[in-house]
Amino acid sequence: MLGLFFGKEPWFRAKRVGYGAGLPFKWQGWVTLAVYLLAMTGLALLVGNDQAIPTFVTVALMLIITGIFTIIVRNHTEGGWKWRGL
């Protein structure tokens, strides 16, 4: 099962105009996006709860998770990340 996540096949379409990735077109991309959104939502809910963890720790975790997500998306974007103009 984990072998499906470690391949180099693309999961995300490249943006038509601009730099970066568009929406996913394979289930692995949708799962990756859903896990990222759930993690960000969970951490955002912790910010409002002062007893959970300090805000700076939450923000640090958000930055780390966003960095990991960006690397995964970049490695699995069809055609890679480059500027696509009009």
- For residues 78 and 12, the answer to whether their CB atoms sit within 8 Å is yes
What's the CA gap between 22 and 62, in Å, rounded? Answer: 21
Higher-scoring residue by pLDDT: 9, 63: 63
- For residues 9 and 76, the answer to whether their CB atoms sit within 8 Å is yes
Q: What pLDDT, in 10s, does the model give residues 17-64?
A: 888 888 899 999 999 999 999 999 998 888 777 676 888 888 899 999
pTM of the entire structure? 0.82
Residue 72's pLDDT band (boundaries 50, 70, 90)? very high
Q: Is 4 a residue whose pLDDT tops 70?
A: no
- For residues 81 and 19, the answer to whether their CB atoms sit within 8 Å is yes
pLDDT of residue 45: 86
Q: Is 2 a residue whose pLDDT tops 60?
A: no
